């Protein structure tokens, strides 16, 4: 039985339909990504799951309980870390964490706080007021708050925003460790495609309030079927004859004696293309295959090309 079941969730703001009947299952212990351009409905979905927005219709079951009836009890076993949100600025980091620890009824709270501060490498900030922290430090405190009650379901909304690459990498590793140790189910949104691909087992790709596809990153990338093959020839060769060879895809001229071929079915086309180029007298100096990335899919979705 899935830990989270969303059925036919709809939300409209005036003329704008933010969610158009979204349905989704997330399994226990899954690291699940929500991906999509701005306005796709990711944050609306997260905020509905937190009880901050009331949907127009649809149903949600979490921990096999009806969210509409048991929302407060469910929220005790959940938590969130979201960019753009804050804790109380005049309180120190430790005080803020103690507030939420007490609200969630955490046992051995002081020890739990020490452990989290150490995990995110911010022990030295414990007595600093939150309002004096940098955005990166602030983000890590928000993550500590998100993990304070060892949530069974954790919602992470752009939670690594503002972190430098080194700290962001450490944070991802920490989240993975935490998820493995606690078997936490994590719902994750980010605009960092590399991050989503690295962390999430499955991804729901949203656009205009609908799920386009739920799958692994590898399969979602196959929404763009073609690969780009760049062939660099030896210097001083006239490339025009190679651009329109029979039985090969048409090529574009690149810089530095290079031709770019778009392959719809690389497994079938690659070998024969290279043979024909060689047979036609082309001296191939180098080749490079560029596979579609999650970012390519994202851009095409955002532009309405998929």
Partner 1 sequence: MRYHLSQDFTCTAPAVWGLVYKFTCICYRSLDRIFDIVYWPVISLLLWGFTSRFVSTTSSSSGIMEFFVGGAVLWSLFWRAQADVCTFILEDFWSRNIYNLFASPVTPLELFCAIGLIGLVRCLLSFVFLGLLAWFLYAFNILLLGGTAIAVFTTVLLLFGWVVGIVISALIFRFGLRIQVLAWSVGFIIQPFSCVFYPLASMPRWVQVIAVTLPTTHVFEGLRHAIATGELAVRPLVIALGLTCGLLIAALLFFQYALLQAKKRGLLTRFEMA
Is 16 a binding residue for partner 1 by CB under 8 A? The answer is no
Helix or strand (DSSP H, E) at 16: strand 16-26
- Are residues 227 and 289 in contact, defined by beta-carbon separation less than 8 angstroms? yes
Rounded to a whole number of angstroms, the minimum distance from the CB of residue 184 to partner 1 is 16
Q: Give 252's Cβ-side CA count (13 Å radius).
A: 8
Rounded to a whole number of angstroms, the minimum distance from the CB of residue 121 to partner 1 is 22
**Which residue of 31, 67, 178, 261 would you call a contact of partner 1, by CB under 8 A?**
67
Rounded to a whole number of angstroms, the minimum distance from the CB of residue 191 to partner 1 is 18
Question: Hey, which residues between 89 and 128 contact partner 1 (CB under 8 A)?
Answer: 89-92, 95, 98-105
Is 221 a binding residue for partner 1 by CB under 8 A? The answer is no
Rounded to a whole number of angstroms, the minimum distance from the CB of residue 244 to partner 1 is 55
**Which residue of 20, 25, 59, 208 would you call a contact of partner 1, by CB under 8 A?**
59
Dihedral, CA of residue 101, residue 115, residue 201 and residue 67, to nearest 10: -10
Tell me how many degrees the CA angle 76-142-101 measures, rounded to the nearest 5. Answer: 40
Is 13 a binding residue for partner 1 by CB under 8 A? The answer is yes
Is 84 a binding residue for partner 1 by CB under 8 A? The answer is yes
Rounded to a whole number of angstroms, the minimum distance from the CB of residue 160 to partner 1 is 17
Residues 6+ apart with CB under 8 A from 236: 257
Closer to partner 1 by Cβ: residue 130 or 168 = 130
The contact pattern for partner 1, residues 130-149, with x = CB under 8 A and - = no contact, is ---------------x----
- Are residues 218 and 209 in contact, defined by beta-carbon separation less than 8 angstroms? no
Q: Give 221's Cβ-side CA count (13 Å radius).
A: 15
CB-CB neighbours of 201 under 10 Å: 13
Is 247 a binding residue for partner 1 by CB under 8 A? The answer is no
Closer to partner 1 by Cβ: residue 74 or 117 = 74
- Are residues 93 and 127 in contact, defined by beta-carbon separation less than 8 angstroms? yes
**φ/ψ (deg, to 5) at 97:** -70, -35
Place of tokens 């993975």: 176
Computed over its alpha carbons, how large is the radius of gyration of the chain?
24
Rounded to a whole number of angstroms, the minimum distance from the CB of residue 107 to partner 1 is 10
- Are residues 27 and 3 in contact, defined by beta-carbon separation less than 8 angstroms? yes
Rounded to a whole number of angstroms, the minimum distance from the CB of residue 195 to partner 1 is 22
Is 68 a binding residue for partner 1 by CB under 8 A? The answer is yes
Is 1 a binding residue for partner 1 by CB under 8 A? The answer is no
Closer to partner 1 by Cβ: residue 95 or 121 = 95
- Are residues 253 and 239 in contact, defined by beta-carbon separation less than 8 angstroms? yes
Is 292 a binding residue for partner 1 by CB under 8 A? The answer is no
Is 15 a binding residue for partner 1 by CB under 8 A? The answer is no
Provide the binding-site residues for partner 1, judged by CB under 8 A. 9, 13, 43-44, 47, 50-60, 67-73, 75-76, 79-80, 82, 84-92, 95, 98-105, 129, 145
């Amino acid at each position: 039985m899935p830990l989270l079941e969303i059925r036919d969730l709809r939300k409209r703001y005036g003329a704008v339909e933010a969610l158009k009947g979204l349905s989704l299952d997330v399994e226990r212990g899954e690291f699940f990504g929500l991906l999509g351009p701005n306005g796709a409905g990711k944050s609306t979905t997260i905020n509905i799951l937190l009880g901050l927005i009331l949907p127009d219709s649809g149903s949600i079951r979490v921990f096999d309980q009806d969210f509409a009836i048991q929302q407060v009890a469910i929220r005790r076993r959940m938590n969130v870390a979201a960019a753009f949100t804050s804790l109380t600025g005049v309180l120190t980091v430790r005080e803020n964490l103690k507030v939420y620890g007490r609200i969630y009824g955490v046992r051995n709270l002081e020890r739990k706080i020490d452990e989290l501060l150490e995990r995110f490498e911010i022990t030295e900030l414990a007595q600093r007021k939150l309002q004096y922290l940098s955005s990166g430090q602030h983000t890590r405190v928000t993550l500590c708050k998100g993990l304070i009650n060892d949530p069974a379901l954790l919602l992470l909304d752009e939670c690594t925003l503002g972190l430098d690459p080194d700290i962001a990498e450490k944070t991802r590793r920490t989240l993975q460790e935490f998820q493995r140790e606690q078997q936490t189910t994590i719902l994750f949104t980010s605009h960092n495609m590399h991050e989503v691909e690295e962390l999430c087992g499955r991804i729901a790709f949203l656009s205009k309030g609908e799920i386009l596809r739920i799958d692994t990153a590898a399969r979602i990338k196959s929404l763009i079927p073609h690969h780009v093959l760049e062939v660099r020839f030896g210097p001083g060769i006239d490339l025009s004859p190679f651009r329109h060879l029979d039985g090969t895809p048409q090529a574009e001229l690149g810089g530095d004696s290079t031709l770019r071929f778009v392959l719809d079915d690389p497994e079938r086309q690659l070998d024969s293309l290279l043979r024909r180029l060689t047979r036609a007298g082309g001296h191939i100096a180098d080749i490079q295959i560029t596979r579609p990335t999650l970012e390519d899919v994202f851009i095409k979705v955002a532009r309405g090309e998929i």
